[in-house]
Structure 1
Amino acid sequence: MDVMNRALVKKCISDSQWLFLSLAVLLFVFCWFRVWIVSFLEMPSFAAVVQPLWEKFGQFSPVALDHLLSYPGRVALTFVEPLVFLSIVIWGIARGSDAVSGELSRGTMEMVMAQPVSRLQVLYTHVMVTVAGLVLLCFCCWFGILVGVETTQIVEPATRPSWTIPGTEWTFSLPLGRAEPRVVGLATKVNCRDMIPPAINLLCLGFTMSGLATLFSSWDRYRWRSIGIVSGIFILQMMAKIGAKSTDSLGFLQWTTFLSAFEPQIQVQVAVDYPAQLWSWRLLDVAGETGGLGPLSSNAILLSIGLLSYLTATWIFCRRDLPAPI
């Protein structure tokens, strides 16, 4: 890496360091806290809350009730907490919109381009730092869950002592024993490796948003307008996803939103219950019928949108006239 490239990398890191540090701490602490909260509501109590609501609102859950009422299913809800996925979206939009229109708005693009660097170097140094930040933020999210799982204890329902006949699998409950609840570590119920696929899915969402933000930034000169356009697109995509789940008459909307490919809960369910399908393009249910998008398809869709956006942004930026600073 030559001196000028190192200078560009240092500039990009300097521009984004405070946003990155604040989001990294927020994601780590919140994910740890969110997993810790699981210990406050025992599974029978959680089931008593969810089951009466399932008949009316079950269509909003992408996973089966049995999985939702398991500890991996409850921990997986962390990835769909608004604070978590919106933090990743904020990073993608904030850093993507800064690539071109941000520099033009500040009047610094002319100074950068006056140096012995190409437009391609300027753009892709920014992209490299943005994507590296995405990877680290998603790691902070997963690491917060890991620490939460390893440090949290849960109370299992009271059961009577049992005795197993040596050399056999026959187990008998002892009628004279007193039923007592057991305190066990959450790590005995949740394998944190099963949380890696949803973290990757979250990363792919961030890649899509940063790509779209870079695309609109590449032809605009005002950063606020780039942010507004991409934020509006994200809100419309959210509305389409919610509408598709609300009623069958709007089910077609699921094919109009890339957020249909963001389903971290499904990724956890596949990792726990159907590990053989973790890298499949299409899911097969118990009956062997074709189901929804597999984890590989979901991630590929998001990555393709992000990559296409970056390539289009490159084409636009390398050919456009850069306005003089005002």
Structure 2
Amino acid sequence: MTLVLVRKLLRDVRWGLFAVCLLLFVFSAFWVKIAQRVTTEIAPFFNGVAAVSKINPKLFDEVIFKGPGKVSQAVLGGAEIRFDRPDDFLSVELLHPVVVIVTALWAVSRSSGAVAGEIDRGTMELLLSQPIPRNRLILAHLIVDAVTIPALVLSIVAGTQLGLALIGPFEVDYSVLQKLDLPPMVRLPAGPPVLEVHAARQWYAVVNLAALVFALSGTTMLVSALGRNRWRAVAAAGLIVIGMFVANVIGQLWDSAAFVRPVTVFYYYQPQKIWLKENWTVDLGEAWAGGSPMVEIPVMPVLIGVGAIGYLLALRVFDRRDLPAPL
């Protein structure tokens, strides 16, 4: 009976899942083209101008990411990201607002309908009239997460691979620099003709994204189990997610507010560190000790634990609550 319920839930979300996967797939493919242009044309131009002018290339970063630009820098991964390296820029995609917002919306919208949505539609009584215990309903939603979340992250990987296959090698273009009217004694800088791309480690990073989506889904599941109106559940869960995201970003920009970052799930979402450095931990000292080393926390157990706790609490609440009669 559980499998019948799972098939029913998957049938309910199939078109929404297809639309979200298609959006992530297309965006990932286009992001490869954006990464190629930035790393092979724009970044070499600025680096070349800096070399000819004998100035530090970091001055460009200080100008671009000054003031309000710091928000963009924080969202895109901080000051360690170098735009002249393909892997660095490709990894920015997983922190891009499109990816984060779309996956978060999926987690909130799908899980909010688990309990509150069924009660709101008046179909919960019909479901529970079948010979299935209440815990099977929560289990069915957990299985749906186990199917849909991998589909989301696989669409990102597939889009990236398609983009790399269609666009080809990242060949550096110095043609714009060569148009500069420079004295004969000034030589333009030259770099490798083709930049190396190591997209295989993207798999590691999207696993972190999958864990984040599961954490958000588990949190929303608990909110849904406490409510009886889907849109109120969406609003409540949405406020929680937005609050955590904003708190994490503000903590990156303002040292005095950094202490709140570890209590948000987004602090443990570190796809760039995982992709570029294979570092699966985050140091609490970044938020609580002014950047000094403190305690390394594995990010995956935290995110998976948050999702699991959300599901367990949702099961406990739903199993014990009285359901309102349909109007």
TM-score (norm 2): 0.80
Helix, strand or coil for the counterpart of 1:321?
Answer: coil
- Map 1:290-305; keep pairs closer than 5 Å: 291=293, 297-305=298-306
Instruction: Tell me what 1:95 maps to.
Output: 110
Q: Is the 8 A contact 1:23 1:137 kept in 2?
A: yes
Alpha-carbon deviations, 1:256-285, whole Å to 9, x = none?
3221111222222213xxxxxx4557699x
Helix, strand or coil for the counterpart of 1:115?
Answer: coil
Alpha-carbon deviations, 1:121-160, whole Å to 9, x = none?
122112211231011101111221122223224332559x
The answer to whether structure 1 residue 193 and structure 2 residue 200 are counterparts is yes
Q: Is the 8 A contact 1:95 1:130 kept in 2?
A: no
Alpha-carbon distance between aligned partners in 2 of 1:6 and 1:131, rounded to the nearest angstrom: 13
Instruction: Tell me what 2:325 maps to.
Output: 324
Alpha-carbon distance between aligned partners in 1 of 2:224 and 2:25, rounded to the nearest angstrom: 30
Q: Is the 8 A contact 1:63 1:266 kept in 2?
A: no
Instruction: Tell me what 2:255 maps to.
Output: 248
TM-superposed CA distance for 1:39, in Å, is 2.3
Q: Is the 8 A contact 1:35 1:78 kept in 2?
A: no
> Measured at CA, do residues 190 and 211 of structure 1 come closer, stay the same or move farther in structure 2, by a change above 3 Å?
same
Matching residue within 132, 135, 138 for 2:147? 132
Q: Is the 8 A contact 1:96 1:214 kept in 2?
A: yes
Instruction: Tell me what 1:105 maps to.
Output: 120
- Map 1:42-53; keep pairs closer than 5 Å: 42=41, 43-45=43-45, 50=61, 52-53=63-64
- For 2:45, give the aligned amino acid: S
Alpha-carbon distance between aligned partners in 1 of 2:197 and 2:5, rounded to the nearest angstrom: 42
- For 1:156, give the aligned amino acid: V
Instruction: Tell me what 2:315 maps to.
Output: 314
TM-superposed CA distance for 1:120, in Å, is 1.1
Helix, strand or coil for the counterpart of 1:221?
Answer: coil
Helix, strand or coil for the counterpart of 2:170?
Answer: strand
Alpha-carbon distance between aligned partners in 1 of 2:90 and 2:301, rounded to the nearest angstrom: 24
Instruction: Tell me what 2:22 maps to.
Output: 25
Alpha-carbon distance between aligned partners in 2 of 1:180 and 1:144, rounded to the nearest angstrom: 31
Higher strand share: 1
RMSD: 3.0
Q: Is the 8 A contact 1:240 1:254 kept in 2?
A: yes
> Measured at CA, do residues 66 and 219 of structure 1 come closer, stay the same or move farther in structure 2, by a change above 3 Å?
closer
> Measured at CA, do residues 304 and 6 of structure 1 come closer, stay the same or move farther in structure 2, by a change above 3 Å?
closer
TM-superposed CA distance for 1:215, in Å, is 0.3
> Measured at CA, do residues 282 and 235 of structure 1 come closer, stay the same or move farther in structure 2, by a change above 3 Å?
closer
The answer to whether structure 1 residue 231 and structure 2 residue 238 are counterparts is yes
Q: Is the 8 A contact 2:81 2:89 kept in 1?
A: no
Q: Is the 8 A contact 1:254 1:260 kept in 2?
A: yes
Alpha-carbon deviations, 1:1-25, whole Å to 9, x = none?
xxx2332122101111111000011
> Measured at CA, do residues 127 and 36 of structure 1 come closer, stay the same or move farther in structure 2, by a change above 3 Å?
same
Alpha-carbon distance between aligned partners in 1 of 2:324 and 2:12, rounded to the nearest angstrom: 22
Alpha-carbon distance between aligned partners in 2 of 1:240 and 1:283, rounded to the nearest angstrom: 16
* Equivalent residue pairs, number: 292
Matching residue within 3, 8, 14 for 2:5? 8
Q: Is the 8 A contact 1:261 1:293 kept in 2?
A: no
Instruction: Tell me what 1:146 maps to.
Output: 161
> Measured at CA, do residues 312 and 14 of structure 1 come closer, stay the same or move farther in structure 2, by a change above 3 Å?
same
TM-superposed CA distance for 1:91, in Å, is 1.3
Q: Is the 8 A contact 2:280 2:300 kept in 1?
A: no
Alpha-carbon deviations, 1:18-48, whole Å to 9, x = none?
1100001110011101111222232313657
Q: Identity over aligned residues, as a percent?
A: 27
Alpha-carbon distance between aligned partners in 2 of 1:7 and 1:145, rounded to the nearest angstrom: 34
The answer to whether structure 1 residue 156 and structure 2 residue 157 are counterparts is no
TM-superposed CA distance for 1:293, in Å, is 7.5
